[in-house]
Chain A
């Protein structure tokens, strides 16, 4: 079951900050949701292979060809900050 500590851990893994009010509300909601998820334990799944993709698929091979995708300048134009053809981020190493 989820508690304050597991919620905090999940928030850290998710790179999300929760204030105290959000934490309280989310904890209560997630307890209910996970309580519902716990019903799955009633189903006997011994020996059942987990299914990750519902439609059967084969490996796909293609030729290793070079083709033009998009202009690097255009790609960089999406970035919040750019300097000398590089994406700029705050200094993170002292």
Chain B
């Protein structure tokens, strides 16, 4: 059974070996993951080699690195040298990079073991993991429901105790929402906090690496190791990374101000989610927090502004996939039979799935002459106004408490053929990305279908420490990590 980082390290101190733990994890994955489908590929050889190095270091009396031997899995968006990196797409189904993403090399340097690559929505476009070329990842608490998305596999594998921690990416909620659906903690740090070099790009002004684990302290231990300036990614901030690992003690919330968003409280929330939110607000109040109402007047336009920005950037980013230097090349594109444009079109039409095509088409529509002013530029103007509203709110509060989504996990196929309805479900998460803010999803309870409910905490840019402080209190109140799904 996989537990927290500290639980794992205790086990090692009591005589377990890293190699045995790693082998046990693979055995468990092979047993349990057939139905869940949380992994696209396993990284057995490299993982065991790395576990062996950890064992040797201990034998030789060397000091433990921060994540020594800890069993990680990573979303298939992250380039791991010598390992298939598919982004959940047919386009990249055989792509094997020769280099590590910066966060992967930092993870390896910290001593972690990478078990394999997690399932995800194709190019991180989706909120159900159903757009994956490799089939949907199921919810570990109830397999008639989805794991969420786009980082569904990463959330599922942690919830099912297949890996201790995992990597996801969060462009509009893709870490926080699957964490909520699967009952794990999910952290999306501030935009620019963590390098994205070597991570498959979706929407460059919104994408951020994030983490899953069962305990709040573990996403922060992970984030601390991976954050900070990277010369390979000019969007990374040179701001100092706080020593979160020295501040993992529970502190009460006296003097801590928590904002409740007026507009979120009057929306159509599922009854169980609303109750969980009310209970969480009560819990923070009980622990000394002052609850203050704040307003985000333009929030109703968040989904539209987000999808215009995200699809426009995606259309540009994904124009690189033409089947020339790498990626899917159509069998129909035989020598001398097609023009260059037809060649690209064949490769792309076969290589991309339906959701990705829809978003590329939307993006190129929003960027095309005659429409760019009315759509893309307008969305960017509203993006500024939404960010201003958040900044105003954070003049008065240390963190905001909010739902992650209006409901618990969706049924498989619930949104087939209803893309707008699916987009609208991202209401509570997307504006956090538009404003570049950090967000944390903490699981608090389950509903009658055995489906978890998480609560979202949002802080101002680079104020992740506030999420840690409030998150530890929510976790201590509800202790959801004690609940184990029957997989």
Contacts and interface: CB of A to CB of B under 8 A. Distances in A.
Contacts of B305: 40
10 contacts: A9-B368, A14-B364, A15-B319, A26-B358, A36-B304, A49-B381, A55-B191, A57-B234, A78-B325, A89-B340
A40 B382 contact: yes
Contact of B324 (A33, A39, A89): A89
Contacts of B301: 39-40, 43
B370 to A, nearest CB: 9
Given A39-B304, A40-B304, A54-B436, A17 B349 contact: yes
B365 A2 contact: yes
B27 interface: no
Contacts of A75: 98
A33 B379 CA distance: 14
A7 B96 contact: no
B31 interface: no
B380 interface: yes
Closest 5 CB pairs of A and B: A54-B436, A50-B380, A51-B384, A80-B329, A45-B381
Interface of B is mostly: helix
A53 B433 CA distance: 10
B423 A48 contact: no
Contact-residue bracket for chain A: 35 or more
B322 interface: yes
B364 A37 contact: no
A75 B374 CA distance: 41
Contacts of A17: 345-346, 349
A33 B419 contact: yes
Contacts of B190: 55
B461 A10 contact: no
Nearest to B323: A80
A18 B348 CA distance: 11
Given A33-B423, A54-B436, 8 more contacts: A6-B368, A10-B364, A11-B361, A15-B344, A16-B348, A43-B382, A49-B381, A70-B98
A52 B235 CA distance: 13
B333 A78 contact: no
A83 to B, nearest CB: 11
Interface string A62-85: 100000011100110011110000
A52 B205 contact: yes
Contacts of B333: 90
B343 A89 contact: yes
A71 B378 contact: no
B74 interface: no
Contacts of B361: 7, 10-11, 14, 16, 26, 30
B345 A15 contact: yes
B335 interface: yes
Contacts of A49: 381, 384
Q: Which of B315, B352, B382 has most chain A Cβ within 10 Å?
A: B382
B468 to A, nearest CB: 20
A79 B437 CA distance: 39
B335 A90 contact: yes
B367 to A, nearest CB: 8
B377 interface: yes
A87 B326 CA distance: 9
